[in-house]
Structure 1
Amino acid sequence: MNKTILSLFAIVLLLNCSTAQKVTESQQAIDKTQIKAAMIDALEWQEAHPIIALAPTDWTNGAYYTGVVRAHKATGDMMYMAALKNQGYWNNWNTFSRMHHADDVAISYSYLYIDKADVRKNFVDLEPTKRFLDAHLYEDDNWKAGNDKSKYGRTILWWWCDALFMAPPVINLYAKQTNQPKYLDDMHKFYMETYNQLYDEEEQLFARDMRFVWTGSDKDTKEPNGKKVFWSRGNGWVIAGLALILDDMPEDYKHRPFYEKLYKEMAAKMLAIQPDDGLWRTSLLSPESYNHGEVSGSGFHTFALAWGINNGLVDKKHTPAVIKAWNAIAKCQHADGRVGWVQNIGAFPEPASADSWQNFGTGAFLLAGSEILKLE
């Protein structure tokens, strides 16, 4: 094969990392050494190219460093721990500032992990996390009171589905590490509010917020193909959050069966609608709207599904589909380590490109890789 043909082949891959292709035995195989190297490349590139949407403690960094946590947990590589400790130290272990906004405590997942993993006592200051959670769960708020009547449905604490990744895993882990089950009970209370408001039992997917909850009105939003609007990354936030929650939730917790059932429903749905090339589109039920793979949603789905296989909640017969997803995600990584094809910050299906990247996309990449490494 001459250099011209090789160059053309590389250009085709760059234009769309998820070009449909028949799955072969080689595509189903995984090279764990290669995966670990790709994950380190992603970490190094992201650490060298920090991005701040609101602050170093914002939700984008919270999601990214959750991926770093899981990468360290899976590999034990101290490069991940160095990155975790560095950001926690420079953040002074603070959350972001909006005490009733679930996004702003996502960063504490990394703090809690460092605190558990570090042999030194009092290296991590968990007081800012406690202060946030106490205000978040127990102080009055307009959303809790149902005073916001906007089209978004801001009448509950966690009115958008993304919130189910941001706060519940932190609250769950905090309850576990501090041995205070009351936090877990209150997490469940607010989780159920979101579930009751946004979960579509027919489609077994979550609407992003009340703008996309179909009520049968002609004014409701639907895709051009007549399907309801279900955002890939939004549902990725939920199912990845479920995997994180179940990973730390006590086996005998009274409400655990609810979370396992919800996880299994969503996992079955994600497997049923996975495109042939492995990557989910930004609009789950209208893939033709933006007919290319997207890495952040796909990364979260892949993490969650691989976690399910590794923990006995998804049948191992689905392992090839999950490996196919990972191999497609891996093709979206640039040679320098940057993870492309990530939809920018948003709240509904939009396109991505080979050059679009976000730190939470790197987090999704690391999350996926962390569980793919455990597949047998």
Structure 2
Amino acid sequence: MKKIVVTIIAIAALFSVSIAQTQETQKLFEDSYIKKTMKTALDWQLHHPKHKLYDWTNGAFYAGVFAAYETLDDKNIYNAIEAMGEANRWKPGPRLHHADDHVICQTYIDMYRVSGERKMIRPFIETLDEFMATPYETGGIRKITWWWCDALFMAPPAFVKLGITLDEEKYLKLSDKLWKETYDLLYDQEEHLYARDVNYKLDEPGIEPRTEANGEKIFWSRGNGWVMGGLVRVLEELPADWPTRDFYIQNYKEMAARVASLQQEDGLWRASLLDPESYPGGEASGSGFFTYALAWGINNGILDKGKYLPVVEKAWIGLNSLIQPDGRVGWVQPIGADPRKNFSADSWEVYGTGAFLLAGSEVIKLDE
């Protein structure tokens, strides 16, 4: 009899733990919790600035900051973005053709759409017109203008946003042309992922093949996260009847299916997508961008909710496990051109916070 009582008590204890865990998980999806966590992460990052304000790192961060402004409807966030723009004099970075120096302009355009102040977009209009009038000099691995996959988050959404805002198709057509060049150069039709650049393509003449320890091709989580983020930000802007929209939809759906299949048990993705065993621990920035992009697809009726909602929910739970007690987004892979292993709970970067804020801005809409 005593053994039976002990067994019953043990089962009851396990059941209580299970209920508590379920309640804790459900809390992660409550609007109040998502908003509070976004605000805490945002406040921490704003108090720990890094890099030049026009830098690509901050371009990704402020994309998330503006998403947080829309989600939280907080005038203080708007003021923080405006202060950044004023400090930059609303200019892109100094490199004319470099996509990294255009990403901050996504936020300038978003701000212009709110305020109507032309000064917020005038420098970017001037830059793009000069861009179009100035031939790009190729050489080495720079075979095309956007020769690395991250560029597809940096520049195309800015180009397309400007074109839609000004009703100028020339900017949309330019983005289409340059994206297709990158697609033709770097997209792997078998894996449905983008190589970081030609150095990671096994079939590129004159390039010494690089593979992971398990013999698989090298596909960087964050690099492909940037691409998926770029895809949804372009699709969010393009008119339904735009001639190339179906191309982006197809590319997005292929990548979404492949990325979902590579999610790990903890809900996160590893720094290297095809060799997770060599890269233990989930990586915040790549995982954040994947969560953002997949949730956006559900919210906009492009991805099947029954198939992808469990992926996004698992990912959001995983992302929240990376938030440190002070609000810092930890486990962010540092700056680099390939998968890295040297990051931990103490590792942070502004783009990791940007990715988290973007993810939260779409996860909160899942039940709308």
**In the TM superposition, what is the alpha-carbon distance from 1:27 to its structure 2 partner?**
3.5
- Say if 2:222 is the partner of 1:233: yes
Tell me the alpha carbon deviations over residues 322-371 of structure 1, each in whole angstroms, 9 at most, x when there is no partner. Answer: 01111111111111111100000011110221000000111001010000
- Say if 2:340 is the partner of 1:343: no
Query: Would the aligned equivalents of 1:111 and 1:126 in 2 still touch at CA under 8 Å?
Result: yes
Secondary structure, aligned partner of 2:160: helix
CA distance in 2, matches of 1:290, 1:179: 45
| Paired AA for residue 192 in structure 1 | K
- Say if 2:57 is the partner of 1:69: no
CA distance in 1, matches of 2:117, 2:264: 48
- Say if 2:108 is the partner of 1:111: yes
| Paired AA for residue 137 in structure 2 | N
Tell me the alpha carbon deviations over residues 50-81 of structure 1, each in whole angstroms, 9 at most, x when there is no partner. Answer: 001xx221111111001112222233222321
Match of 1:57 in 2: 54
Tell me the alpha carbon deviations over residues 265-317 of structure 1, each in whole angstroms, 9 at most, x when there is no partner. Answer: 00111111111110100000000111110000000000000000000111111
Match of 1:94 in 2: 91
The one of 179, 201, 221 aligned to 1:191 = 179
**In the TM superposition, what is the alpha-carbon distance from 1:25 to its structure 2 partner?**
8.0
The one of 349, 360, 375 aligned to 2:366 = 375
**In the TM superposition, what is the alpha-carbon distance from 1:251 to its structure 2 partner?**
1.0
CA distance in 2, matches of 1:137, 1:314: 35
Query: Would the aligned equivalents of 1:342 and 1:361 in 2 still touch at CA under 8 Å?
Result: yes
- Say if 2:157 is the partner of 1:169: yes
Match of 1:4 in 2: none
Match of 2:143 in 1: 155
| TM-score between both structures, scaled by the size of structure 1 | 0.88
CA distance in 1, matches of 2:320, 2:218: 27
The higher relative CO (CA closer than 8 Å, separation ≥ 6) is in 1
Cα RMSD (Å): 1.6
CA distance in 2, matches of 1:216, 1:87: 41
Q: Where does the alignment leave 5 or more consecutive residues of structure 2 unmatched?
A: 1-20
CA distance in 2, matches of 1:100, 1:121: 25
**In the TM superposition, what is the alpha-carbon distance from 1:42 to its structure 2 partner?**
1.0
| TM-score between both structures, scaled by the size of structure 2 | 0.90
Query: Would the aligned equivalents of 1:223 and 1:286 in 2 still touch at CA under 8 Å?
Result: yes
Match of 2:35 in 1: 36
Tell me the alpha carbon deviations over residues 170-204 of structure 1, each in whole angstroms, 9 at most, x when there is no partner. Answer: 00000000000111011100100000000001000
The one of 18, 27, 31 aligned to 2:25 = 27
CA distance in 2, matches of 1:346, 1:91: 25
**In the TM superposition, what is the alpha-carbon distance from 1:26 to its structure 2 partner?**
5.7
Q: Where does the alignment leave 5 or more consecutive residues of structure 1 unmatched?
A: 1-22
Query: Would the aligned equivalents of 1:229 and 1:285 in 2 still touch at CA under 8 Å?
Result: yes
Runs of 4 or more consecutive aligned structure 1 residues displaced over 6 Å after TM superposition: none
Match of 2:294 in 1: 305
Q: Count residues in correspondence.
A: 343
Match of 1:135 in 2: 130
Higher mean Cα deviation, 294-303 or 213-222? Answer: 213-222
| Paired AA for residue 38 in structure 1 | T
Match of 2:256 in 1: 267
Match of 1:358 in 2: 349
- Say if 2:211 is the partner of 1:222: yes
* Identity value in percent: 47
Query: Would the aligned equivalents of 1:100 and 1:135 in 2 still touch at CA under 8 Å?
Result: no
Query: Would the aligned equivalents of 1:236 and 1:297 in 2 still touch at CA under 8 Å?
Result: yes
CA distance in 1, matches of 2:60, 2:117: 26
**In the TM superposition, what is the alpha-carbon distance from 1:141 to its structure 2 partner?**
1.9
Match of 2:46 in 1: 47
